[in-house]
Structure 1
Amino acid sequence: MEPNITQPESFLIAMLIIFILPFMIWRYLKTEYFAPMVVVQIVAGIIVGPGVLGAYFKDYYHAIFTPVTIHNLNGIASWAVMMFVFVAGVELDLRNVWRHRKESSVTAGLALGVPLSFGAVVGWLLVQHPGWVGQVAENWQFILAIGMSCAITSLPVLIVFLEKMELLRQPMGQRVLRYASLDDLLIWSVLAVVMVDLPRIKTQLLFLIGFGVASAFLRKLMVAVGEADRWFYALIWMVGVSFMAEWSGLHFMVGAFMAGVVIDMRWFDQKKMDLLRHYVLLIMMPVYFLSTGLKTTWSIGGTAVFIVAGFMLVAAVVGKLVGIHIAGRILKWSEGEASIIGWLLQSKSLITIVFANVLLDKGVISNEAFTAVLLMSLVSTMLTVPVVSSKLALNPTLATKMS
């Protein structure tokens, strides 16, 4: 029998679950070593989704997660992730990448290209079987999407890990951030290609041209006004570009990231931007993680989803390590550097989930493929800190290696 719960009560119960469950797991199971709070929040979202809570406690699940409650949560989640990817775009230091352009381009290119190729092979194999490709996707879009899902490095999660291991201000940490920053730019560029809608290509080209012109005006405006006004102009700019990206057939998250990339971090106080990112992660992104969990499904069969996730994980981990080791040979790195960098770049969960949500929303991948990508990204991320910590314990001087 379904409990009698009012709409406000169901929304507030959902919000309590969002904040209580991850915190209890993170605090009392002491997961910080292998799974930071963001990873635990994603796992908690899966637990309360239809595949777990919904499967075993259907009445309670449907009483709490009513269509209206889910609609409200999705609205908060959309605003949260828009803010998050915008800040990620602002924080990209492309000038630093340019100063080390040869090393950065070689390393980032191989770190992205090799696992993308390995993942594309998995995507091609999935195309041969029904139930994995999204309803509106061409085969090439699906294959490229799966390949890129295996190649992603999540810059925000990487920063969390580098801080935890006291590598963020070390030469090794700064090198890895450069590679991840360039990969972030390439990831969103590939996503824009995947999202290309041939019938609407003229609209999308018009958006890109308009974005370029508007960006030039924005940059002049931001220089001319004070910092207090810059925050308001930045928010207006973010929403406007996101809307136009969605209108043109791209996704609003692509627009939010593009809006951030053309803004210079030096126009804002670094501490305020850090606080903004911190509070977006603390207050709003947990709602996004829960809404992500609500999209997980096992309708093809749990075993098949886990097997596919396993193949993706192998493609992601092995592809990243092979690519980085090739870069190490080309750039003549010392022994052990490539292994440390390769494992640090395994940090995936946050950006991969954002990426996969875009693909799911636009019908490029199915719910089952989305669940497999989600599982792959979580396991890859959870491997990062234990493996890197053990390697640094054996050779601590690697942390101070310059490029």
Structure 2
Amino acid sequence: MATPTDISHIELLAPAGSYEALHAAINAGADAVYFGVDGFNMRANSSAHLGLADIQEISTLCHQYNVKCYLALNTLVYDQNLEEMKQVIDAVKLAQVDAVIAFDLSTIAYAKSQGVEVHISTQHSISNIDAVKFFATWADRVVLARELTLKQIKSIVDVIKTQDIRGPKGRLVEVEIFVHGAMCVAVSGRCGMSLYMYNTSANCGSCSQPCRRAYTVTDKATGKQLDVDNEFVMSTEDLCTIGMLDEIVASGAVSLKVEGRGKPPEYVDVVIRCYKEALAAIGDGSCTKEKISQWNTRLGTVFNRGLSDGFYRGLAYKYWSQGSDSKATTKKVFVGTVLNYFPKLGVAEIRVQAEGFTAGEPCVFVGKTTGFVRQTPEEIWCNDTHVTTVNKGEDMTMQVTARVRRGDTFYKIMSAG
């Protein structure tokens, strides 16, 4: 049995690229979420379109459940965007969003001038204590460079404490690091390749991910091609630290961030639940190799390009994804749409529109307000008759353990093989 560890200061930070993912994060036990809005969203191509009007709604919802919310406003800002950026900061202040995650110095300066808490984006590649001291004038938290080792992270945290480095709010500068999700072949995500090749700027949230594609390397002088075992020479595997989470807690980082604002709600649900369980096990001393193996198996069921420990062990990328597609072991398949929900009975009525459904199959409901609800019904009904299978074109009913809503989409979970 491991020794219990104090985790009361640890924040598990979840991505919320849509309302469905936001509800999934809250229901899974996230301590905080981060989201973006149109115009300044680093996941503009893959997340839902959220605007100024959504800032207040998201903030109210999060605070209702005692969950902090941060707006990721970490794109470059050009002269023609300055006023719009200020409008977003003003909306953040009015909605009492807990902080903005910022990269551009104009954003950092304006947010501070308005009394809005600033967290420095990982895109600044903060890698040493002097950089932390510099940004402490502006920010209460720094998201350290992704390329640091755990030893380097712990050293920075230790010096923050010994030298009493504090941010504008008067508390010790906090350190945030990534613990799970996609990694970028460029240094802390600052890449010019997409802009050069497709005129879509990664630093303005429109990365076309040319690094995830296959290439043939050719010697221009001779025309000969380089024979490489893996054509996806720039596509890294995803970060997964659940097996070293005790070491990450010991590093002194207070916020553990999951990448994935472009990911679906089932990804958020599974990843946050696994890390939440792992943190609880570290806290009470019950973490074991068997549990870690089970968490890794569950994490492998949702989108991933293969899982690695990144740079935290002191190694550069040694794992490459062998492709751009997900290696998830399961997939969700659209079945139909919720017609009605009967709260007194806890029963959902579903129109089966695409795929048939069989009792005992794992399934999920997804909706803007519902978020993400996972079920495995042992019994289903059709026309008030207990049945084993419901076919396309029929209506079915089933008991659910949480409220679902008319119009929610209904999927079954199947093996991806």
* TM norm structure 1: 0.25
Hey, which of these two has a bigger chunk of helix by percent? Answer: 1
Which one has more relative contact order, counting CA pairs under 8 Å at least 6 apart? 1
Hey, which of these two has a bigger chunk of strand by percent? Answer: 2
Larger Rg: 2
* TM norm structure 2: 0.24
